[in-house]
Amino acid sequence: MSSPVLTGSGLERRFASGRGMLEVLTGADVEVQAGEIVAVVGPSGSGKSTLLHCLGGLDRPDAGTVRVEGDDVWQMSERDLARLRNRKIGFVYQFHHLLPDFTALENVLLPRLMSGESHEAAADAARRLLEWVGLGDRMTHSPGELSGGEQQRVAVARALVNQPSVVLADEPSGNLDLVSSRSLHELLHRMRDEQGATFLIATHDPGLAATADRVLRMEAGRLMEADRDDPKTWIPSVAVTP
Ligand SMILES: Nc1ncnc2c1ncn2[C@@H]1O[C@H](COP(=O)(O)OP(=O)(O)OP(=O)(O)O)[C@@H](O)[C@H]1O
Ligand SMILES: [Mg+2]
């Protein structure tokens, strides 16, 4: 069996709130294999974004371990962590978070420049990816000159330009109309099928969850998964820590 690209085990995260501690993650386990599209669903406030931030090296969990290709994310130095976030993890957010004063091309090539590539090589890779997501004729547009769906496609291209081990997407189609959502979902599948990309996607969108290979549900701070033998039954998701 292949080893997972991303593992979160026993993740706990709590926040101080007015009336004491808010227990958001209470021992969440998740494992994502290379080439999978895994959806995380759950009501608003159940901790999906918190989980993605802990997995992506953006927010340190209070307990538990995160491994990306076997490396323990929260034991790394700040420098290695920054490198990991740049090279091995791609992020897509509900609102694109593109840099407004840069063109689509510049937004996509920046992560490659940051990883030390020459401008020319980075621009070549970014151009190819933008063509591939159907925005070959929008490269010099700034985000403000693109539609919401186009902005999200640029954000997906940016997330993938360094060929990360895994892309963490937080409500990627949350801000799009039905047609643009569908085309974004198709794009994610095409990226998996043709480029071998791996996705963990937090979503409220039943259409997106339905097309995922597996669906995990956040319940009281843990992740549950449909039983393979009896899909109507939800059982705790398990991560095998190497
Ligand atoms: N930095 C923080 N400080 C305090 N509380 C926080 C912080 N981040 C998140 N929370 C709380 O943790 C809970 C989970 O938030 P989170 O954003 O992970 O939920 P979610 O499942 O992503 O919700 P949604 O579907 O609305 O995006 C919420 O009650 C939120 O208020
Ligand atoms: Mg959220």
39-87, pLDDT tens digit by residue? 999 999 999 999 999 999 999 999 999 999 999 999 999 999 999 999 9
Domain ranges of the chain: 34-54+77-221
How do residues 183-205 score in pLDDT, each as one tens digit?
889 989 999 999 899 999 999 88
CB contact at 8 A, 142 and 173: no
Mutate to test the pocket of ligand 1, among 12, 17, 50, 62 (most ligand atoms within 8 A of CB): 50
Q: Which of the four pLDDT bands, split at 50, 70 and 90, describes residue 242?
A: low
Q: Give residue 51 CA to ligand 1 midpoint distance, Å.
A: 9
How do residues 101-116 score in pLDDT, each as one tens digit?
999 999 999 999 998 9
How do residues 162-180 score in pLDDT, each as one tens digit?
999 999 999 998 888 888 8
154 lines ligand 1 (CB under 6 A): no
Token digits for 181?
């959502």
User: Among 170, 148, 150, 168, which residue's Cα sits nearest to residue 104?
Assistant: 150
Mutate to test the pocket of ligand 1, among 46, 93, 95 (most ligand atoms within 8 A of CB): 46
Sheet containing strand 71-72, edge to edge, reads 20-32, 6-17, 63-68, 71-72
Domain 34-54+77-221 has CATH 3.40.50.300: yes
The Cα–Cα gap between 116 and 127 comes to 18
Report which protein residue has its CA nearest ligand 1's atom 3: 15
User: Count of residues for the chain?
Assistant: 242
Q: What is the pLDDT of residue 42?
A: 93
Looking at residues 7-33, what average pLDDT do you find? Answer: 95
Where do we find the tokens 């892309």? 167
The Cα–Cα gap between 25 and 50 comes to 8
Q: What is the pLDDT of residue 2?
A: 66
Q: Give residue 218 CA to ligand 1 midpoint distance, Å.
A: 12
pLDDT higher than threshold 90 for residue 119: yes
Query: What percentage of the chain has pLDDT greater than the value 90?
Result: 76
Ligand 1 atom index nearest CA of 51? 18
pLDDT higher than threshold 70 for residue 1: no
